[in-house]
Amino acid sequence: MHSLTEKALAGSPRALGRLITQVENDTAIARQALTDLHPHTGNAQIVGITGAPGSGKSTMVNELAKEFRRRNKTVAIVAVDPSSPFSGGAVLGDRIRMQDLVGDKGIFVRSMASRGNLGGLAIATTNVTSVLDAVGYDIVLIETVGAGQSEVDIASTAHTTLVIEAPGMGDDVQSIKAGILEIGDILVVNKADKPEARRTIKALQAMLELGHSTKTFHHGKVIETEAVVDYNEWMTPVVPVTSLTGEGIPELVTQVETHYAWLKESGNFDAHQRMQFEKQIKKLLQAAVWEKLNGDQFEALLEQVSERQLSPHAAIEALLKLL
């Protein structure tokens, strides 16, 4: 075991930060560390938080973290921003919004940014989450900034996924959103002090009642992974909160804890975990296959396909031989 891994396991935040940088850069040290840390994982509750810009996610995540701390849980926050070129723990924005939490050793905050590759970001986020789980954080909050499918996919790698809505944003029946609502284990209406919030809450409840018609999206996705988890028994709650005053946050944290307890007690936890590992291994295998292929050889084949000298299927045969 590398000394960085040992020190991170022993509780050094500095070693942890450095190890995470290694993981982000996908170094040999990181790969060894992930293998060494794997037996230590499986104890944290991973919570994904997704929602459109303007829904007030960051403030809410901050409040969630504080409430978990009040309940004596240690918390790590991974803020994923695919549109930001900044990465690392020292991002100014984090420091500012997390100033209430500064000095608390039971909390760890990390920003992750895209380096022009969303697939790589998803893998890195999963790996960083595993490290935080292994070193002993009770709760890992993965906050994804943005509202594209990729951000949603990242958030849904969690045990529990919160989808945040704000009044005036989710009031219409937007079929496009069905997929996003579908992945939410808990729907949160932020800014619940606004008068329009009641309408948003009602609209979300109506959508949940329409569940049968929206399930298609979910099934479409889950079938693809060939491991259907029966979520039917969990009744998705709609929780109103006002992050600015903290109102509703304790109830939300209780719902998050209840969902985790339900996963464990219903027997869905193991199936869920297996499905997540399956997804992760598929992604890693895809990345590993690309890594083994020589870029120049691929470009040459692509050129031949574009020129109609070689069919895509013949190119695949050639690529498989190169592996």
Residues that bind its own copies (CB under 8 A): 31, 34-39, 41-42, 52-54, 82-83, 114, 116-119, 146-150, 169, 172, 174-180, 216-217, 220-221, 223-224, 270, 273-274, 277-278, 280-281, 284-286, 288-289, 292, 301-302, 305-306, 308, 310-316, 319-320, 323
Token reading at 191: 């800014």
Q: Quote the tokens at residue 93.
A: 């924005």
Question: Residue 15: which residues within 8 A CB-CB, separation 6 or more?
Answer: 4, 7, 8
Which stretches of 210-267 are DSSP H helices? 211-224, 249-265
CB of 323 to its own copies, least distance (A): 6
Q: Do 204 and 166 touch, CB atoms closer than 8 A?
A: no
Is the CB of 111 or the CB of 255 nearer to its own copies? 111
Nearer to its own copies, 174 or 245 (CB): 174
Please name the amino acid found at residue 154.
I
* CB-nearer residue toward its own copies: 37 or 46: 37
Minimum distance from residue 217 beta carbon to its own copies (Å): 5
User: Smallest gap, in angstroms, from Cβ of residue 242 to its own copies?
Assistant: 22
Rounded to 10 deg, the angle between the 197-209 and 211-224 helix axes is 70
Least distance (Å) between residue 293 CB and its own copies: 8
Q: Which of 49, 36, 52, 42 is nearest to 4 (CA)?
A: 36
Contact 5, 37 (CB under 8 A): yes
CB nearer to its own copies: pick between 103 and 307: 307
Closest separation between CB of residue 297 and its own copies, Å?
12
The DSSP symbol for 247 reads: B
CB of 35 to its own copies, least distance (A): 4
CB atoms within 10 A of CB 213: 10
Instruction: Give the dihedral of Cα atoms 149, 154, 156, 160; nearest 10 deg.
Output: -140
Q: Which is nearer to its own copies, 100 or 278 (CB)?
A: 278
Q: What minimum distance in Å lies between the beta carbon of 56 and its own copies?
A: 13
- C-alpha 201/C-alpha 90 separation (Å) is 37
Does residue 163 contact residue 181 with C-beta atoms inside 8 Å?
yes
Q: How far is the CB of 36 from its own copies (least distance, A)?
A: 8
Q: Which is nearer to its own copies, 85 or 103 (CB)?
A: 85
Query: 122: which residues sit within 8 A by CB, 6+ positions away?
Result: 150, 153, 154, 157, 283
Residue with smaller CB distance to its own copies, 208 or 275: 275
CA distance 42 to 5: 17
Query: Judged by CB, which is closer to its own copies: 206, or 223?
Result: 223
